[in-house]
Amino acid sequence: MSSRYILALDQGTTSSRAIVFDRAGNIVSLAQKEFRQIYPQPGWVEHDPREIWGTQAGVAAEAVASAGLSGKDIAAIGITNQRETTIVWDRETGQPVYNAIVWQDRRTAAFCDELKHSGHEAMIREKTGLPIDAYFSASKIRWILHNVPGALARAQAGKLAFGTVDSWLVWHFTQGSVHVTDVSNASRTMLFNINTLAWDEDLLRLFEIPASMLPRAGSSSEIYGHTADNLFGGAIPVAGIAGDQQSALFGQQCTTPGMVKNTYGTGCFLMMNTGDAPITSRNNLLSTVAWQVGGKVQYALEGSIFSGGAVVKWLRDGLRLIRTSSEIDSLARSVPDTDGLYLVPAFAGLGAPHWNQDARGALFGATLGTSAGHIARAALESIAWQTRDVVRAMEADAGVPMPELRVDGGATVNNLLLQFQADILGIDVVRPRITETTALGAAYLAGLAVGYWHDLSDVAGQWQLEHRFAPAMPADDVARRVAGWQRAVRASIAWADD
């Protein structure tokens, strides 16, 4: 099997990607394709599930072919995916009954507020480790069932299936023979009890969701089924599944309690391995399942930031200040600092540690001298500021300072961002040689399931340092800037609450 490869499918919020890895964890080939973002109303975000499947299947075939390989050269497929995004489909036809409702979508915020006012928050957090928020899948499923004509009756008759994106992909790769998710994705639905590792009947009743809709919640590393013969010219085991942030934690080899990574993607997601038991956060973080491998479950604390790379996309597509995302670096470097400008990118509300779903994006401190360069620099810095807020909350929950921050994701190519991140955290920010750690984690999970790698020690030595960013900003300068950011966040929340 050493001459074969692992295919990792990384289905993200804005694109579908496929990467072929060799046994040393090196990238052999990569293919990527963006797909449409659908905004029916302010605060609503949707994807076409058929586009998700079509682009993911397409790049999978492209990555294998561009490496000069065929299906027989692939030992296993691992899947990692945008989490919480909700798809409901017909079990007989395999067709979605509605567009995928994306994790960023806020249409169910009012219903979530009703649940809070009705006193359900403590019960839900105890069972799921999550706060009540429109971010998670449960209220999205309920919305589809109550707003698509006939959907609730069809679901109650056992004719509809629910899945997060991983379930949708496995269903189609196996041509409808397998309906499964893994415990990491299940833990993000707000329907899964992370203490018993089972779908929770109380929560299903609360959200009026028939249990028959749900996939089997398997481990993160097992053979779930095989691809249909016609897709790759032969059956390939689908053997690893993890939500994107849990997969990145695994890919960063944060397998020891206390290790921390931050992924800079469409959102930013800071995650700490907490070992074999969930930790209840006192600082508005999430407690979630990290993975289940070899029968052993590990948990994590997580801080979810809704707008990370999405801020850069907004500058490109919304304001048209840049033509490509890579141009933000030169534009931001055209000025020495933000000149007191702060961007609070609460385009879909504020995530951890604030959890204010009514907050909206705002620029503070603008003057007639504010330029496109200042806005670009404030946008980059906003990603680091939000990360700092979560780091401080996580350190308070863990009771110890963070020794270093391992980073990955598309935005980590930006040295300006990572140096500023180190400066305002006061700790080293560490970038690995392979930053495709989300896909790499899925590859590891799949490879372990089929014996491509024997055990965790077989892959532990593959993590390699590419660059270490050490803090260099004077402490008084950091303190002044921190105060400005905190003032801007307070103002953004006050505007929403007025």
Please give the model's pTM, rounded to 2 decimal places.
0.85
What mean pLDDT comes out for the span 464-477?
A: 94
What confidence score (pLDDT) does residue 180 get? 98
Cis omega (within 30 of 0) on the bond before 96? no
CA neighbor of 250 nearest in space, from 261, 239, 258: 261
Q: Which residue has the higher pLDDT, 476 or 257?
A: 476
Q: What is the per-residue pLDDT for 51?
A: 97
Detail the residues annotated as belonging to a binding site for ATP: 13-15, 266, 309, 410
User: Do the beta carbons of residue 350 and residue 359 sit within 8 Å?
Assistant: yes
pLDDT at 1: 54
Q: Is the pLDDT of residue 64 over 80?
A: yes
| Percent of the chain's residues with pLDDT above 70 | 99
pLDDT in tens, 102-136: 998 999 999 999 999 999 999 999 999 998 989 89
- The pLDDT score that the predictor gives to residue 163 is 97
CA dist 86 and 164 (Å) reads 5
DSSP-assigned states of every residue in 7-18: EEEEE-SSEEEE
**The predicted structure's pLDDT at residue 358:** 82
Binding residues: 13-15, 17, 83-84, 135, 244-245, 266, 309, 410, 414
DSSP alpha helices (H): ranges in 208-355? 229-232, 244-251, 309-313, 328-332
Whether residue 3 is predicted with pLDDT greater than 90 in this model: the reply is no
* Domains with residue ranges and CATH for the chain: 5-245 (3.30.420.40)
pLDDT of residue 256: 84
Phi, psi of 347 (to 5 degrees): -65, -30
Average pLDDT, the chain: 93
Q: Are 299 and 290 in contact (CB under 8 A)?
A: yes
Known binding-site residue numbers for ADP: 13, 17, 266, 309, 410, 414
Give counts: helices (H), strands (E), the chain.
17, 23
Per the model's pLDDT, the better-predicted residue between 399 and 446 turns out to be 446
Query: Read out DSSP for 258-275?
Result: T-EEEEESSSEEEEEEEE
Q: Name the binding residues for glycerol.
A: 83-84, 135, 244-245
Comparing CA positions, the residue from 148, 147, 179 lying closest to residue 166 is: 179
Which of 324, 428, 357 lies closest to 109 in space, CA to CA?
357
